[in-house]
Amino acid sequence: SQKIEQNSEALNIQEGKTATLTCNYTNYSPAYLQWYRQDPGRGPVFLLLIRENEKEKRKERLKVTFDTTLKQSLFHITASQPADSATYLCALVTPGANNLFFGTGTRLTVIP
Amino acid sequence: DTAVSQTPKYLVTQMGNDKSIKCEQNLGHDTMYWYKQDSKKFLKIMFSYNNKELIINETVPNRFSPKSPDKAHLNLHINSLELGDSAVYFCASSSMAGRGRGTEAFFGQGTRLTVV
């Protein structure tokens, strides 16, 4: 069966450290992988997109890697801040079909 | 201007009732979605519509039916509501055509449905 798993349901990290979140998928061949942030009581908000032929993408303090051999994406937040505390979701877009499937999410808490 | 708006934000109703949730997007996107987020916060896709054509329908009871009067709207109708339908429902839209394909999805603020 198809699965998108984010290894940690919850992750606590000290302010200033780098947070690393993992997204693993099985039985998908995604054309794109996206990362979203969701705050309590709100809808997810898009952060970054990485294509299957890209290894790494950066945006300010955020970095995403995509390894189609390992079927894994890593999401890094450097110099983490308490304001980064939220749930982070990875999502896959499959080629040829207009589907956007989400992972299980990781709730990140940055401790001051 | 709100990009994706859904109404109502809260909906409390009794078992057995029929209800609708409305969604509108003003982004010119060609694809709209409905997601259900349960108490464990997992976002499960229910439907997606591309150019008024239903293109996926996961294992969702047929009590749920999407209705798209035009490209900018995708409403969700739910018949004979059950306790297990209580969740937050999110509408979203994205562009799946041409160079915009695969780019970001925009979400509404969610509708918290409580069935009592």
| Average confidence score pLDDT of chain A | 91
Q: Long-range contacts of range B97-100, CB-CB < 8 Å, 24 or more positions apart? A: B97/B30
What is the C-alpha to C-alpha distance for residues B3 and B1, in angstroms, rounded to an integer?
6
From B35, B96, B104, residue closest to A98, measured CB to CB: B96
What's the pLDDT at A94? 76
Do residues A53 and A79 touch, judged by C-beta distance below 8 A? no
What's the pLDDT at A99? 76
Q: Do A43 and B103 touch (CB under 8 A)?
A: no
**The one-letter amino acid at A28:** Y
Q: Do A98 and B31 touch (CB under 8 A)?
A: yes
Q: Do B55 and A31 touch (CB under 8 A)?
A: no
pLDDT tens string A41-89: 999 999 999 988 898 999 999 999 999 899 999 999 999 999 999 999 9
What is the C-alpha to C-alpha distance for residues B54 and B50, in angstroms, rounded to an integer?
6
From B48, B55, B107, residue closest to A43, measured CB to CB: B107
pLDDT bucket at A12, cuts 50 / 70 / 90: very high
pLDDT tens string B36-91: 998 888 899 998 888 767 877 778 898 999 998 888 999 999 999 999 999 999 99
- The residue behind tokens 């694809």 is B31
Residues of chain B by 3-state class (helix, strand, coil), percent to 5: 5, 55, 40
